[in-house]
Amino acid sequence: MLHDYLIDNAALFEKIEFSEKQIEISLGDGVSVVGRIDLVRRVDTSETTIVDLKSSDRAQTEDVTEAQLHVYALGYQELTGRRPDYVEVYELDERKRKVRSVDDEFIVDIKTRTREAAAALRSGVLRGTPAKNKCAVCDYLGMCTAGRAAGATP
C-alpha cells in the first residue's frame, strides 16, 4: 500500500512542507488538543493541503475523519499563522484522494464540539451514542453493554 502511494505521488514530494508534524491547539479554558499531521503540502500557487493517510485496517467513520482533519487545520493555523486551503484524505487501499476545502463554519463547529467534549470529560458525564454500524468496529465492544444493546456483535 505505502509503496503504491510513494510511486503514485512521487512528483508531489518536493511540495511537502511538513510530515508527521506534531501540533498542539489551545482553545482556552484549559482545553488543549495534541495531534500529529501526516503531511502538509504546499503547491506553487501557495495553496496548502493537510493530508491524512488512511487504510481500511483502521477505518473510522467519515465524520470522525472530517473532524480530525479540521482539528489538524486548526493546529496548522496555530503553528504557522496561516489557514490551510484544503484537507485531504488519501485512501491507501483504493489509491484515491478525497479533498475538501476548509471553511469557517466547520472550524467554528469543531472548536465548539471540542470544548463540549472537554466539559463532558471534566464533569464525568459522557453520554454514549451507540449505533450498530459504529459499535460493530469499535475496539471496546467486548466490554460495552451499550454497543451490544445497539445490536453490534464482537
Residues 116 and 148 in one domain: no
Q: Say which residue the cell 453490534 belongs to.
A: 152
Task: State the pLDDT at residue 22.
Answer: 94
- Domain count of the fold of the chain: 2
Largest Cα separation within the chain, whole Å, is 52
C-alpha angle 137-138-140 in degrees, rounded to nearest 5? 145
pLDDT in tens, 74-127: 999 989 999 999 999 988 888 899 999 998 888 888 888 888 888 888 888 878
Confidence of residue 48 (pLDDT cuts 50, 70, 90): very high
Range of the structural domain that residue 138 is part of: 127-154
Average the pLDDT over each of 21-25, 41-45, 55-59 and give the range with the smallest value: 55-59
Residues 111 and 64 in one domain: yes
For residue 38, the domain's CATH number is: 3.90.320.10
Please state the rounded mean pLDDT for residues 38-58: 87
Q: Which residue has the higher pLDDT, 17 or 57?
A: 17
Residue 58 reports pLDDT greater than 70: no
Question: Could you give the strand order of the β-sheet that contains 96-101, starting from the edge strand earlier in sequence?
Answer: 16-28, 31-42, 48-54, 86-91, 96-101
Task: State the pLDDT at residue 57.
Answer: 67
Task: State the pLDDT at residue 73.
Answer: 92
Q: Which residue has the higher pLDDT, 128 or 88?
A: 88
Cα separations in angstroms, 19 against 34, 36, 92 = 16, 9, 16
Residues 131 and 119 in one domain: no
Task: State the pLDDT at residue 59.
Answer: 63
pLDDT in tens, 15-42: 999 999 999 988 778 888 899 999 999 9
